[in-house]
Amino acid sequence: MTNKAKKWTLILIGGSVFMIAVLTAFLNGGKIFNFKSDSENQHVSSAENENQQENQDNNLKDEVSQPKEPSIEEDIPSLAEVYKDYFPIGAAIEPRYTTGLISELYKKHVNMLVAENCMKPIEIQPTEGNFTWQSADKIVQFAKENGMELRFHTLVWHNQTPDWFFLDKDGKPMVDETDPKKREENKELLLKRLEDHITVVVSRYKDDIKSWDVVNEVIEPGDGNPNGMRNSPWYQITGTEFIERAFKVAREVGGEDLKLYINDYGTDNPVKRDHLYNLVKDMLDKGVPIDGVGHQTHIDVYSPSIDRIIESMKKFAGLGLDNIVTELDMSIYSWNNRSDYGDNIPEDIIQLQAKRYKELFEAFKENKDILSEVVFWGISDEYSWLNGFPVRRTNAPLPFDRNFQAKPAFWAIVEASQ
Ligand code: GLA
């Protein structure tokens, strides 16, 4: 062996010994070299002993205070249960929430479901004659398995409706047609498509779903029509005939058992409410089978007043109609505010929300004779459309927080039931 080779051998042996020492020391509790003799080791000072004990205790405490496996709170009241003498408590759901932890929240707290998206026209009949049921069926099945009622949302709407509905037989937008004869043909074609859609959907679900949103959001005073009608393609092409036809077909196909609703937001606003009232009254006079009004009730912590919400229900009840709350949530921002609390939602806002939810549910309870269902638009703040509308930000409109735990709003709603 050359001198150079000898030198390298020594370095390697020395290095290995050092590494073994370091490893042993780590296994020994983090000390690089333990110079104590065995006897010394057996006589560690009582102070060190106490230290070790304390460390052990801390480890134990750490284990206890480690975040638990995520779970829902099993030992709190069920919303559906506490309101069982008044009305079903519902919530909007997506197919993906029918499994996993969030599904437990639905199972515990609601006895009614509505599809947040998957029963809208664009989901059910994306191209003419091609009906897709997979997602909608999943929700129907989940409701059945868990003994929940269902609502259907929605047969007719201007949004989330595929364009093909409104194209003429040559593929041109019907709204652009100026020839009166062709306009008439287009109207018939559109009403036929409407009839076909409703016939197929109602036939499929009439035994499983009793509460139906037949038309959604047909009033929009801002569009400038004197009767307050939204200037949607439906209205531009058929006038109010699409509404008449939709309700009649739903009744013919679904029978007397189905409850048929006209659904809208901002129904507490006197101007909008009165246009809706006039439309519905006119329809009822013509024998159109409308059973009630769905009040979406997307409100915020500041407005509208609860009195106005109830006043509107009373007005429709005066026509012999039922009322339902179809899409309840309570934004923590006022409607025209675009700011974002981020992770720091002020405690007084959370308390304000709780107070208002309490007053709202007290009022619902008092008016149970004219109000037959209360449905939230979601269940946990983690999944709410208001985290993305009108801007992307943190919102907290629902009774359960982002970890599916009960918020002060939840307890306030429970308190209102007592
Ligand atoms: C309206 C519709 C619902 C839903 C919400 C927003 O209220 O009726 O279907 O789209 O907007 O999520």
How far apart are the CA of 359 and the centre of ligand 1, in A?
Answer: 24
Task: For residues 105 and 237, state if they share a domain.
Answer: yes
Whether 115 and 155 have beta carbons less than 8 Å apart is answered as no
Residues 6 or more apart in contact with residue 244 via CB below 8 angstroms: 283, 286, 288
Which atom of ligand 1 is the closest one to the Cα of 117?
9
- Can you tell me the mean pLDDT for 93-118? 98
Span from the CA of 210 to the centroid of ligand 1 (angstroms): 20
Atom of ligand 1 nearest to the CA of 120: 9
Whether pLDDT at 7 is above 50: no
In a domain, 72, yes or no: no
Distance from residue 220's CA to the centre of ligand 1 (Å) = 15
Give the number of other CB atoms < 10 A from CB of residue 297: 24
Closest ligand 1 atom to 154 CA? 9
Among 151, 377, 395, the mutation site with the greatest number of ligand 1 atoms within 8 A of its Cβ is 377
Number of domains in the chain: 2
Is 362 within a domain? yes
Residues 34 and 174 in one domain: no
Detail the DSSP E strand segments found in 252-321.
259-264, 292-295, 298-300
Residue 335 lies in a domain: yes
Vertex 309, ends 78 and 300: CA angle to 5°? 70
Report the separation in Å between the CA atom of 387 and the middle of ligand 1, taken as the mean of its atom positions: 13
Note the pLDDT of residue 151.
98
**Residue 70: inside a domain:** no
86 close to ligand 1 (CB < 6 Angstrom): no
CB of residue 265 inside a 6 A radius of ligand 1: yes
CA distance 227 to 222: 11
Per-residue model confidence (pLDDT) at position 65 = 54
Tens-digit pLDDT profile for residues 336-374: 999 999 999 999 999 999 999 999 999 999 999 999 999
pLDDT(17) > 50: no
- What does residue 395 show for φ and ψ, rounded to 5 degrees? -120, 165
Does residue 322 have its Cβ closer than 6 Å to ligand 1? no
All residues at 6 or more sequence positions from 274 whose CB lies less than 8 Å from its CB, including other chains: 228
Residue predicted with more confidence, 126 or 16 = 126
- Average pLDDT over every residue of 63-78: 77
Identify which of 324, 327, 385, 386 to mutate to test ligand 1's pocket (most ligand atoms within 8 A of the CB).
327
Of all atoms in ligand 1, which is nearest to the CA of residue 263? 8
69 within some domain:
no
Q: Which of the pair, 409 or 56, is modelled with greater confidence?
A: 409
Where in the sequence is the domain holding 239, given as residue range(s)?
A: 79-416
In this prediction, residue 70 has a pLDDT band, given cuts at 50, 70 and 90, of confident
**Residues β-bridged to residue 264:** 295
pTM of the model: 0.84
The catalytic site residues sit at 217, 327
Domain of 86: which CATH number? Answer: 3.20.20.80
More confident residue, 36 or 14: 14
| Helix (H) or strand (E) run with residue 211 in it | strand 211-216
Half-sphere exposure of 300 (CA within 13 A, CB side): 12
- The atom of ligand 1 lying closest to the CA of 217 is 8
Q: What is the mean pLDDT of the chain?
A: 88
Which pLDDT band, with edges at 50, 70 and 90, does 67 fall under? Answer: low
Mean pLDDT check: name the lowest of 11-15, 142-146, 158-162, 302-306: 11-15
Identify the residue with better confidence: 403 or 43: 403
CA distance 381 to 163: 32
Q: Looking at residue 68, what is its pLDDT? A: 57
Measure 157 CA to ligand 1 centroid, in angstroms. Answer: 10
Centre of ligand 1 from the C-alpha of residue 377, in Å: 8
Residue 53 shares a structural domain with residue 160: no
Range name among 14-28, 100-114, 283-297 with the lowest pLDDT average = 14-28
In a domain, 184, yes or no: yes
Provide, rounded to the nearest whole percent, the portion of the chain with pLDDT above 70: 83
How many Å is the maximal CA-CA distance in the chain?
113
How many of the other CB atoms lie within 10 Å of CB of 140?
A: 19
Same domain, 48 and 88: no
Residues in the chain: 418
**Nearest-CA residue for atom 3 of ligand 1:** 116
Report the helix count and the strand count for the chain, using DSSP H and E.
14, 9
Closest residue to atom 8 of ligand 1, CA basis = 216
3-state secondary structure of 151: strand
> Residue 129 pairs with which residues in a beta bridge?
none
C-alpha dist (Å) from residue 183 to 186, 232, 234? 5, 16, 13
pLDDT-derived band at 59, boundaries 50, 70, 90: very low
- Same domain, yes or no, for 345 and 237? yes
Does some domain include residue 74? no
Task: Give the 3-state secondary structure of residue 259.
Answer: strand
Rounded CA gap, 6 and 8, in Å? 5
Measured in angstroms, how far is the CA atom of residue 266 from the centroid of ligand 1? 12
162 in the same domain as 18 = no
* β strands within 18-111, DSSP E: 89-93
- Cβ–Cβ < 8 Å for 329, 378: yes
Q: Check pLDDT > 60 for residue 15.
A: no
Q: Is 385 in the pocket of ligand 1 (CB under 6 A)?
A: yes
Neighbours of 374 (CB within 10 A): 26
Please identify which residue in the block is written with the tokens 């339902």. Answer: 324
Q: How many CB atoms lie within 10 A of CB 131?
A: 14
Whether residue 118 sits in one domain with residue 11: no
Whether the predicted pLDDT of 43 surpasses 90: no
Are 144 and 31 members of one domain? no
Q: Is the pLDDT of residue 322 over 60?
A: yes
Cross-strand bridge partners of residue 75: none
Kindly indicate the confidence band of residue 42, based on its pLDDT and cuts at 50, 70 and 90: very low
**64, 87, 109: which is the final residue of a domain?**
64
C-alpha 298/C-alpha 266 separation (Å) is 8
**Which of 385, 389, 398 gets mutated to test ligand 1 (max ligand atoms within 8 A of its CB)?**
385
Residue 133 in this model has a pLDDT that exceeds 60:
yes
Do 59 and 109 have their domain in common? no
Atom of ligand 1 nearest to the CA of 153: 9
Residue 69, pLDDT score: 66
Q: Average pLDDT, stretch 200-208?
A: 98
280 domain residue, yes or no: yes
Q: How far is the CA of 218 from the centre of ligand 1 (A)?
A: 13
Are both 193 and 307 inside the same structural domain? yes
Answer yes or no: is the C-beta of 331 below 6 A from any ligand 1 atom.
Answer: no
CA distances from 248 to 135, 158, 202, 230, 259 (A): 27, 19, 12, 21, 12
Checking if the pLDDT of 47 tops 60, the result is no
44: DSSP letter:
-
Q: Are 139 and 12 in a shared domain?
A: no
My answer on whether 23 and 85 are in the same domain is no
How far is the C-alpha of 322 from the C-alpha of 306, rounded, in Å?
18
Residue 39 has a CB neighbour count (10 Å cut-off) of 7
